[in-house]
Amino acid sequence: MPKLYRTREGDATAVDTRTQLTTVGSETAPGPLLVPQGMKFITGVIVTAIQNMAAATGFSALVRLEGPGLPNGPETLAAAAGGVPVATGGNAVNPAVRIPVNFPVTPANEIIIFGEMCGTDIGGTGLAVTLEFSESLPAGEKVNKTFTVEGDIASVDTKTNLTTQGSVTAPSPVVPSGVTKIDKIVVACASEGLADGKQTWLLRLGGNAVKNGEQVIAISSSARIAVQDGSDAAPQIMSPIVLENVDIAVNMSDTISVSVEGAGDDTGTGHAVVTLVYA
């Protein structure tokens, strides 16, 4: 069946601040993003985000979907993570990633897209988000709900619980009713690269909600070596990865904990953003 795509983009220039994405490049006033007639679901979100490298620190980024076009309420998704050891040089590209989701929508109603820069103020983050609308769900798929958290990992070999969601300082970790599993995980993690060494990043899912005990999953890895005098160190930038069909059984109405840990050398503060896609 045919699909339809709608896009918004913009800049987030203040940390932990909801920033509505309202433009489409040369279209400076495209108007409200309305669910197209005949469309019943968002079956994909295509997202890209990148920092302007204007401060020697790190960040994570997320996307918020809100508005009356989403009858099941707001959804959030991980968008990027990164850091930079110096604010005097950097050049990078970050490819867009398609995140498969199944969100019911209400035709002719508005969806509002927000971008948010979390962690530390990197200077500014540019985001572009495309919504993929479909007439039906893929065969065998169920409606999804999301839970997103982010945070900073200050010490190596230290389990750090992620409890915030940018401007939402206390998102509920309770597994929503009607779901039985974590179907997908969307995650990005990087460090500031302020110290030499190499480091791997691990995601830990635990709490009473995880039926079979804590699950530990590799996310990414970071490394840094001091540059020559007069040179500038390259930034760390990570698009979110999408782990599909993870099928982690959960108990609805119980509490889940989401933690990230850096193993190996301490390459500077880590910044992580994690989305659990329930089904």
Specify burial of residue 150 (Cβ count, 10 A radius: 0-12, 13-18, 19+): buried
Tell whether the model's pLDDT for residue 19 goes beyond 70.
yes
Span 129-148, average pLDDT:
96
pTM of the model: 0.96
Domain limits for position 151: 4-278
- Averaged pLDDT for residues 43-61: 95
pLDDT over 90 (residue 42): yes
| Distance (Å, whole) CA 136 – CA 38 | 10
pLDDT at residue 116, as a whole number: 98
| Distance separating alpha carbons of residues 32 and 45, to the nearest angstrom | 18
Task: Tell whether the model's pLDDT for residue 222 goes beyond 70.
Answer: yes
The pair of structure tokens assigned to 104 is 């019911």
The band of 154, judged by pLDDT with boundaries at 50, 70 and 90, is very high
Number of domains in the chain: 1
Measured torsion, CA atoms of residues 245, 251, 257, 262, in degrees rounded to the nearest 10: -30
Residue 115, CB-side half-sphere exposure with 13 Å CA sphere: 28
Q: What is the dihedral of CA 9, 13, 18, 20, to 10 degrees?
A: -30
Mean pLDDT of 199-218: 97
Average the pLDDT over 151-156 and give the result: 96
Q: Please, which pLDDT band fits residue 230 given cuts at 50, 70 and 90?
A: low
Given a cut of 80, whether residue 1 has pLDDT beyond it is no
Tokens of residue 93, six digits: 């590209």
